Amino acid sequence: MYRIRETTRSILRDETTASFRELLTTQKNEINTLLRQSLTPTITRTTTPLPTPSTLDVKQQHVLKLIRLNQLNQAFEFVLSASDLNLVIYLCENVRPTDLFSIQPCPLQTPVVLSLIQQLAADLNTYQELKYSYLHEALICLDLSHPSVRDYLQTVLIDLNKKLYTYIQTNPSTSMTKRFQLLLMASQGLVQKFVQQRATPSSLK
């Protein structure tokens, strides 16, 4: 009885091994065929010239270069002057606002900060988390006493207030509404403070 069992196990083992080998051989042949088929078009594709980078790609590369060189003001000046909101968003996504505005003194000049606020507020329905974070930090960083941008500053803040108010009225129950309400209060407070500062010298005369 023992011998019969051993003989049966031996036969099964041999049959299983043979079947497994046949399966491996078949799979190996199939894999080799697929490899040969896939290599042919790859070789053909590599002989064609690579496409030249688009204008946006070149600009993105320049932006990243300025970031690596820690030339942050130049980077923001570059994207803001390009009149391309997508490029502005690209830079904002690659520079954390908390890191940027925590640097003392602020690496961005006041005109650059105002231009950034203006462009980010142009459409509050997209990239809302990112825009909120930047607008929040930018308002904190603003220098109200900057002499060369006083009129521009008031115009930008009033425009921001209008955009925020319009969004809040149109979208009273979205997840961003409360945050934008806080931004509106902060911006309105800055406008009032700015108006008071401008009125103080005349009242002293």
What does the pLDDT look like over 117-126, one tens digit per residue? 999 999 999 9
Q: What is the pLDDT of residue 124?
A: 97
Least confident of 8-17, 36-45, 81-90, 105-114: 36-45
pTM over 0.85: no
Q: What is the pLDDT of residue 197?
A: 78
> The domain that contains 81 carries what CATH number?
1.10.220.100
121 in a structural domain? yes
* Top-confidence residue, 27 or 44: 27
Report residue 149 as tokens: 């941008």
45 in a structural domain? no
84 in a structural domain? yes
Q: What is the pLDDT of residue 151?
A: 82
1 in a structural domain? no
Give residue 12's pLDDT band: very low, low, confident or very high (50, 70, 90): very low
126 in a structural domain? yes
96 in a structural domain? yes
Cα 25 to chain centroid distance, Å, stands at 50
Give residue 22's pLDDT band: very low, low, confident or very high (50, 70, 90): low
155 in a structural domain? yes
Q: What is the pLDDT of residue 16?
A: 43
Please give the tally of structural domains in the chain.
1
Whether pLDDT at 139 is above 90: yes
Q: What is the pLDDT of residues 156-189, one digit of tens each?
A: 999 999 999 999 999 999 999 999 999 999 999 9
SS (H, E, C) the chain: CHHHHHHHHHHHHHHHHHHHHHHHHHHHHHHHHHHHHHHHHHHHHHCCCCCCCCHHHHHHHHHHHHHHCCCHHHHHHHHHHCCCHHHHHHHHHHCCHHHHHCCCCCCCCHHHHHHHHHHHCCCCCCCHHHHHHHHHHHHHHCCCCCHHHHHHHHHHHHHHHHHHHHHHHHCCCCCCHHHHHHHHHHHHHHHHHHHHHHHHHHHHC
180 in a structural domain? yes
Q: What is the pLDDT of residue 5?
A: 42
Q: Which domain holds residue 83?
A: 55-198
Whether pLDDT at 44 is above 50: no
